[in-house]
A and B are shown apart, each in its own frame.
Chain A
Amino acid sequence: MSTEDTIKISAKNVQVHYDDTHAIKDVNVEIADKAVTAFIGPSGCGKSTFLRCINRMNDTIDICRVTGEILIDGEDIYDKRVDPVQLRAKVGMVFQKPNPFPKSIYDNVAYGPRIHGLANSKSELDDIVENALRRSAIWDEVKDRLQAPGTGLSGGQQQRLCIARAVATEPQVLLMDEPCSSLDPIATVQVEELIDDLRKSYCVVIVTHSMHQAARVSQKTAFFHLGNLVEFGDTDKIFTNPEDPRTESYISGRIG
C-alpha cells in the first residue's frame, strides 16, 4: 500500500496489565483509514485485548490497566475528557461470539440509531435499518420477519445481524474480533465480501486465526506474539516475505 494512506488510529507505547499479567507490551502501531488491518497471532497473545483498547471496552474490566496513548484522528482516546460512550458510538465493535439482543431483528439494528438520535422519524429509522441489513448481506433473509426475535436466527445470520447493528450507528472505525469463528464457509465468504465492502467507508480492524482470511481481506497485517507486536506491514509482504523468524514460523504453522 502506498504511504499517502491517512492514518486513522495510532497507538504509542501501549501497555496493558490484568493485575499481574502483562498482556500488551509496549505496542506502537499506525492503522490506516479506509483499509482492513488484520491482527494475527497465537491464542492468548493479546489480540483481543489490544482490539478492546481501541474502543475502551477494557474499561469494563476492573483489573485491567491501560497506559500509553491511542490517538484516533489525532485525539488521545484515553484523555480524561473523553467519554467512552461517545467514543464507542464512533468506534463500533463486532464480538467473537454473536450476541444479538433478545429483541426483534428490527430492534437489534435500530437500537444504536435510537439511543444516538440518528433518526428523526419512523421512516428514517426504517431506512437506516434496511440499509444496515442490506450492507450486512442479510436483508434478503430477514426482510419478511423483521419482528421475529434476533436470537432465533442461525449463528451465521446472528453474526451478520451483529455487523448490521454495528454498521447502523455509522461508526468511523469497525473492530471485529474473529467475526467468522462461528460461521460455515459460505457465511464466511459472505462476511469477507462484506468486510471488503465496508473498507470503502470505514477503517476496519479484524482479529482472525485464519491466515487465509487475513491474506484475503486485509491490506495490512499485524502479528502479535506474547503481548509484543512482532511485525506490522503490508499483508502481501508479511505473508510472502516476513522479516521476523517468529512471524515466519507462525505463518508456516510451526508456532501457535
Chain B
Amino acid sequence: MEENEEGKIVKHEEEDEEGREQEIWSWGAGTDGQLGTGKLQDELLPQLLHLTSLSSAGPISFLACGGAHVLALTSGGKVLTWGRGTAGQLGHSDTVNSPHPKLVMSLNNYFITHVSAGWNHSGFVSDTGALFTCGDGTFGQLGHGDYRLHCYPVKVSFFASKHVEQIACGMRHSLVLLRGDEVYGFGSGKRGQLGIAKDKINLVSLPERSCGFEGVKIASITANGDHSAALSADGHLYTWGRGFGDTLSAKTPQHLPTSFCFTKIALGWNHALVLTGGEVFMFGGNHHGVLSNPDKMTPVKHSADSRADSRAVVLEKVPGLEGSRTLHIAAGAEHSAIVTENGVLKTWGWGEHGQLGLGNISDQTSPQEVSLSHKFRKEASLIEIYCGSGFTIAIRTSCRPSQAG
C-alpha cells in the first residue's frame, strides 16, 4: 500500500494488470532447503510453494538452479535466493542454508537482468552490464583473481569497462558473454571447459577470453558439470570441456557440424538436450540422464565427418514426444525435463530423490508426464521448467478466467 497525492490509501492488486497469477512448484532432493518449502526433506511429488516473500517481491521472470541452491530473478530486477548457503552462494553475507526465499539485499541498488547458479557459486548481471559473483571460489570460479569464498555478491572488476550480458556457472568454472560477442572463462579448466587455450589449463582466477568465436554472433552460453556450450544467433551449437559419452574432452569450442538450427541447449553432468524446430535431441553416455535403451532410440548421426572420429557427437531423438512441439527444455545433473506447447510437463532420467516428480524414486528411460494440480484450465497456463542437480522447479503462470461485466 502507498499514499497517493490526495493522501488516500491505494491498495495494490496481488496479480498484475493482465490478471496473471504465478505458481511455483518444486520437487526432488531437498535436504539443503533447495525446494524452498521450508522443510529439509526430499519431495517425490510437486509441492506448491506458499511464500509471502515471493509474492511480495513480484512475479519471478527467471530461475537458476545450482547444486543445491536457487536464484530467482523478479521482473523488477530483484533477486531472491534459497537452499544451500554454506559457501556463501546465497549472497546473504553469511554461510548458512536458507529453507525460504530471501531477498539479496546487497543487490538492491541494481536492476539484475541475468543470473546463473553453479555447484556452489552464483553469478548476477545488472542492466548496466556489471557482473557480480559470490560463493565458493576455491577454483577461481568467481573471477576475482583469488581463490577465496565470497559470501555476498562482489563486482568482478575485470569487466569494469566492459558490458556483460550473460553468466553461466558450472561445477567449478564460469563463462561470461559480453555484448559484442566475446566469451570469457575462469575457474577450473582441467577438462578444457574454459575454452581459452589448446594447452593444458589447471586453474584460472581472472577471466580469459575463449577462442574460436571470431566473427560469430553468440546468442547464449551454458555451463554445467565440466561442460560448456554456446549457441550462435543463427542456431549453431558449440561445445567444449568434458566430452559426452565416449567423446574426448575439447579444450577449445567445437562447432557441431549439422544442418539443424538449434534454439536451446540444456547441459547435465553427462548429457545434453538440444531443441530444434520443436523437437528434442539428446547426446551423452551410459549414465542416468541418458536414454540408454537402444530399442527406443532413433540414432541420427549428424557428424559431417564420416570418419569414425572419436570427437563426433551423435544426436539421438528423444522418443515419446511425437505429436506435440516442445517449448522448453531443462537438464539436472542426471535428469531431464521438457514442456510441450500444450502445457504438458514431462521428465525422465535419474529419479532416486524424486526429482522426476512422479511420486516414486524410479529411474525413467523415456519422458513421463508430471501432473501439477490444476486450478485453472490447462490451456490458460504457461509452464517454464528449471532443473538443479537433483531437483526440479516449475513456474506456472495462469490467466485468471475473465470476470463477467
Q: Do A and B come from one complex?
A: no
